[in-house]
Structure 1
Amino acid sequence: MQPRFHSLLAPTIRWLLLALLACNAAAITDPNLEARVKAAFLYKFATYVEWPDAGQSEAPFVVGIVESDQIAAALQLLAPGRHIGRRPLVVRRLKTGDSPNGVQMLFVGQSTGAALKTWIDNVRGQPVLVVTETEGALTQGSVINFVLAEQHVRFEISLPAAEQRHLKISSRLLSVARQVQTGSAP
């Protein structure tokens, strides 16, 4: 039975599990390491989410990054040659006042109050995977939120926020989340 279980695990889920184990093995104390780990997670998150227009486009898959130059830089190093389905991965840095139109994923770095709400509201109702790293962001409409637990990068997921955006999150990703919110979305 065990060999069959291993054959069922897709290479990408094995990669995600290895990344989680690596995060457990060494606490995140270096901000550059934390940025690289989060960038890798962002890429992998996209591979475990189904968008309503899945398979219909070969246009670039755009990840908009706000308030985090380190994560943007780390993801830009990772992006060349990477694809989400058939779509090439592209990273776009956004700043206050920029429009997030055309992004499939929006990462909002540590942001507070009105700024976070503004970014989330700018893509509300659109099929955009909103990922944050701010405490309480799931209650504001984020789909995935990074948390540091005992100096390890973890993440939590809001299923209602994903459903409002017409995104389907793989059970494989849900199974490795620290917490999955199933109540009503904001």
Structure 2
Amino acid sequence: MAARVMTARFRHHAVYLAVWALLALTSPAAPAAPEIAEENAVKAAFIYNFAKFSEWPDDPWNRSPRLRICVTGNGSDLTEAVAALESKPPVRGKAVDVRLLARADEGGQCHILVITGRASALPVLQSLGSAPVLTVGESDGFASAGGVIGLYMEGDKVRFEANPDAAQRAGLKLSSQILRLARLVRDGKGGR
């Protein structure tokens, strides 16, 4: 009798596992959410490290007692990951302050402006002119369009490209660590 009950429980458990496995394999939303969250956490970590390995002119750097990281764009899960940077240790003596901008033309008040989403960032970049802002974006061709650093995916890894022309125009100095790890691009047709 005990063996029969054990076999019935095993079959029930096996059926449960088979159904769960089938749902996990056929549901595209199940594995995508953790992958997207991890991708955005990696992008946010890059942004934090860009702040540590970049130099601003003295006036804009000293203008605020906090490192101002601003986020704008057409919405993205990256916004949440960047907001979590406020809990990170200070960067060169400045606590991290993350702001969500309703209007991209307010980006000149920031040390770093993260432009989220895949839409063209060219209007935002043009509105900044040569303001000393480290622009970071995730749209295709962001850096060659005049952004300082563009984030992109290569397979399942987050990579970045840097545009030394855009950094120089903004009066920023990117460290050799950034330049060594980045894919370097120059201004394309849309450079600001």
Q: Same fold (TM over 0.5)?
A: yes
- SS of the counterpart of 2:125? helix
Shift of the alpha carbon at 1:97?
A: 6.0
TM-score, normalised with respect to structure 1 = 0.74
Among 87, 92, 99, which residue is 2:94 paired with? 87
Identity of aligned residues (%): 26
- Encode CA deviations 1:94-138: one digit per residue, 9 max, x unaligned: 23466223101001112423xx12211222201100001111112
The within-5 A match list for 1:21-170 is 30-53=35-58, 56=62, 59-67=65-73, 68-96=75-103, 99-113=106-120, 116-170=121-175
CA distance in 1, matches of 2:130, 2:53: 20
User: Tell me, which stretches of 5 or more residues in structure 1 are unaligned?
Assistant: 1-27
Conserved? CA contact 1:29–1:151, under 8 Å: no
Letter in 2 for 1:146: L
Conserved? CA contact 2:66–2:96, under 8 Å: yes
Alpha-carbon spacing, 1:52–1:97, altered in 2? closer, same or farther (3 Å): closer
Between Structure 1 and Structure 2, which shows a larger proportion of helix residues? 2
Shift of the alpha carbon at 1:56?
A: 3.7
CA distance in 2, matches of 1:44, 1:104: 13
Indicate the structure (1 or 2) with the bigger Cα radius of gyration: 2
Conserved? CA contact 2:72–2:104, under 8 Å: no
User: Aligned-pair RMSD on alpha carbons?
Assistant: 2.4
Conserved? CA contact 1:65–1:94, under 8 Å: yes
CA distance in 2, matches of 1:57, 1:83: 16
CA distance in 2, matches of 1:80, 1:160: 32
How many residue pairs match? The answer is: 156
CA distance in 2, matches of 1:92, 1:152: 27
CA distance in 1, matches of 2:104, 2:98: 18
CA distance in 1, matches of 2:178, 2:93: 20
Please say which of residues 138-147 and 79-88 is displaced more in the overlay. Answer: 79-88
